[in-house]
Amino acid sequence: MKLRVLSMVLLVVGVDGATVEAPSDLKCYKKSTEFDEDFTCSWKPAASGENSHYTLRFCFISVQISANRCKDIDAGRKTSILVVYENFATAKETYMWVDARMGNYTYSSANFTMILKDQVRYDAPHIKSMSRSSGNLTLYWENPPGEKKTIINEIQFRKRGQQLWQNKTLETQGGHKPEGCTLSIEKDAVYEARVKRRAKNIDIWSAWSKTNKVPIELHKQPAVNWTVGELSEGRRLLKLNWTAPPEAESVGEVTYDISFVITPCQRKAKTAQTSTTKYKINVTASAVNVTIVAINNVGESPKQILTIPAQHLRNCPKDQVEHLKRKKGAKCVEWYELAGDTSTSPVYNKTDKDAIRVLSQMKEGMKDFVRYHYFVHNTRKSPQTIALCPIYKTEGVPKHGPPNLTVVNVTDNSALVSWQPIPITHQQGFLKNYVIYITRGNDTNVVNVSQFQTNYSIQNITPGTLYIVNVAGETAKGVGPNTTREILLNPQQVNTGLPGFGGIIVGLFLLVVLTIFCSFIIKRLKHKLLPEIPTPIITETPVNPLRNDEELYPAGEELHPVVLVHDLHDKSNKSPPPLEESPLLEVRDTSLCEDEGGETQVDSDAFGLIFPLNPDYKRQALSLPAPLELTEHSHEQADCEASTPYRNGLVFELKVGNASDTQL
């Protein structure tokens, strides 16, 4: 039999030159120095591969018995088998080989001789974690399981791009505690590192660990953008995305840990992990806290904490209680006082099956005139908001009128007033609408606009007239105090408005008349014309706005004198004009009459009111430069006054037209 096998081997060798048919590289190792550790024997398969059938054969020289004893183990098609330590128990030295049988032929590997106690080869270490902090890199891995003796570890590390490894040797004692090794490295460089190990006094190294990439520390928290959708079926879709850290920080791999507090009743934050830079989740209508942290091979970034504001309702849906009654199961009830439009603390929460009972208890503890908001969520894995509602224990009227009432746009016959919404804390009830009182003289016009509106355009107003605008908020309990604003519509405002077609005609006509009339008359009747004109104009014009207001709008008006005085101060004293007044002042500054002397501000105001803008207006309407005669006489008193008749006439025309349209 043996001869035949030999001849076969010779035949094969002779014909194919194929010693490669034999299995090779037979090795047997155990994984620790422990006496009772089993061996793993492995070999490279025979060349013709999968159909081979292997038998491991081994003979050992026994300590007690001088004769060699042999055993074999059938390995089937495998190329690696476990040999339990009892097989070698008494042996010092063993030799072994592996036979591969294919069909009628058998090929044998070379002999492998081993001394049992020296056949220790650890598994390659696995670097479990790394930490890096100001020039120190610490690598952590675990000792070979079951090893109790000393282990020699070799650590190699190098800067990215370098060829040569730096070496460090570390002796560790076996046991279950993980090993750590601190290396000194450059602070801002990317490294790589690996580890291998062997048993002390045995010169068989493990394989290298996987080469770990060592990024630099993550310095910044992720910069997160988010959008949250509208509430739909009790959920809002929250989309988050963020930028990946710089390359040097993300070498290796970066993952992101995200945690969500979706309802205040939830005991543990919901967590998610991703290696992409975006995430989507359904959240409830209540405020949601999101924490995102980036993690690379050497540590964590600072935490990014976001609060996604709650979605509040302005008014309570009608069928809320009925709706809640129909819902089964445990519910999370959450409520808080509204300190502003979005601020939400402190939050009360309670988990209960009977949400209605919780809500009525909640209502007992509420303050009057203060808005609260509650949410009821179900307690599923992905919770849904099943009810939400703003609520008052007792409503009142608004504490104040809307803040910052201003006149933002004045034209010749309209004014746009604008205000800020009354803050929720001042509403003291559900705001139904804003009430606008527009007062001219003894006439007051009242307009209601929606609670969502923050401006109102007053149409068909008369130039040269003082209007007082009051705006107040109204709740079910009534109308609250006003905020007051006055609008003094200066006749000069004609300049900023678009003149009607009729105006152009009149202007054109007057220009022609003036051209003829002035050039003819002025030369001759200059002195006669002068004294007559100013008198009617001045009587018509409020010389001192303060006094004028007081006379026109006595105490019977819903006026707040403080507000008025403040407004007047603004006008007369403060040089940088408020927004709504700047066009008036500009116009006055360019008025021809002002050139006549160094009058005080109040005087020029008075003149500004007296003399309308017709010269400018004419030029605008006709696209002409200033008429010759006007420029000729521009520095003479006569000039202004000579032009007044037609100016005054035009103003009068306008007033008549407007007065008939006026709704006030």
Is residue 371 within 8 A of residue 391, CB to CB? The reply is yes
Least Å from the CB of residue 289 to ligand NAG = 4
Tokens of 473: 């908020």
563 sits in the region (left: phi over 0; alpha: psi -120 to 50; else beta) called alpha
**Interatomic CA distance for residues 472 and 436, integer angstroms:** 7
Our CB check for ligand NAG shows the closer of 402 and 491 to be: 402
Q: Which residues bind ligand NAG (CB under 6 A)?
A: 95, 97, 103-104, 108, 111, 133-134, 136, 164-167, 182, 225-227, 233, 235, 237, 241-243, 261, 264, 280-282, 289, 305, 307, 345, 347, 349, 403-404, 409, 411, 420, 441-442, 552
Least Å from the CB of residue 361 to ligand NAG = 13
Least Å from the CB of residue 512 to ligand NAG = 30
Q: Which residue has the tokens 């409830």?
A: 284
Q: Which residues pair with 385 in a beta bridge?
A: 377
Least Å from the CB of residue 154 to ligand NAG = 7
Residue nearest to ligand NAG (CB): 264
Element housing 385 (H / E): strand 385-391
Length of the chain: 664
**Interatomic CA distance for residues 107 and 148, integer angstroms:** 40
Report helix, strand or coil for 90: coil
Nearest Cα residue to 410 out of 494, 502, 485:
494
**Interatomic CA distance for residues 41 and 27, integer angstroms:** 5
Least Å from the CB of residue 175 to ligand NAG = 21
Least Å from the CB of residue 205 to ligand NAG = 9
Our CB check for ligand NAG shows the closer of 40 and 282 to be: 282
Nearest Cα residue to 140 out of 108, 181, 173, 195:
181
Our CB check for ligand NAG shows the closer of 283 and 621 to be: 283
Least Å from the CB of residue 227 to ligand NAG = 4
Our CB check for ligand NAG shows the closer of 261 and 642 to be: 261
Our CB check for ligand NAG shows the closer of 329 and 340 to be: 340
Our CB check for ligand NAG shows the closer of 143 and 411 to be: 411
Nearest Cα residue to 644 out of 524, 534, 497, 538:
534
Tokens of 619: 């030029």
Is residue 288 within 8 A of residue 295, CB to CB? The reply is no
Which whole-number Å values give the CA distances from 243 to 222, 225, 307, 479, in the listed order?
Answer: 6, 9, 19, 51
Report helix, strand or coil for 221: coil
Least Å from the CB of residue 456 to ligand NAG = 13
Least Å from the CB of residue 59 to ligand NAG = 7
Question: What strand order describes the sheet that includes 212-214?
Answer: 166-173, 150-159, 191-199, 212-214
**Interatomic CA distance for residues 570 and 442, integer angstroms:** 25
Our CB check for ligand NAG shows the closer of 442 and 448 to be: 442
**Interatomic CA distance for residues 574 and 563, integer angstroms:** 15
**Interatomic CA distance for residues 426 and 400, integer angstroms:** 6
Our CB check for ligand NAG shows the closer of 305 and 628 to be: 305
Least Å from the CB of residue 310 to ligand NAG = 10
Least Å from the CB of residue 241 to ligand NAG = 4
Our CB check for ligand NAG shows the closer of 380 and 524 to be: 380
Which whole-number Å values give the CA distances from 20 to 47, 279, 387, in the listed order?
Answer: 6, 55, 78
- Identify the DSSP state of 31: S
Least Å from the CB of residue 226 to ligand NAG = 6
Our CB check for ligand NAG shows the closer of 409 and 662 to be: 409
Our CB check for ligand NAG shows the closer of 261 and 592 to be: 261
CA angle 472, 477, 483 (to 5 degrees): 15
Report helix, strand or coil for 583: helix
Our CB check for ligand NAG shows the closer of 281 and 436 to be: 281
Tokens of 118: 């020296």
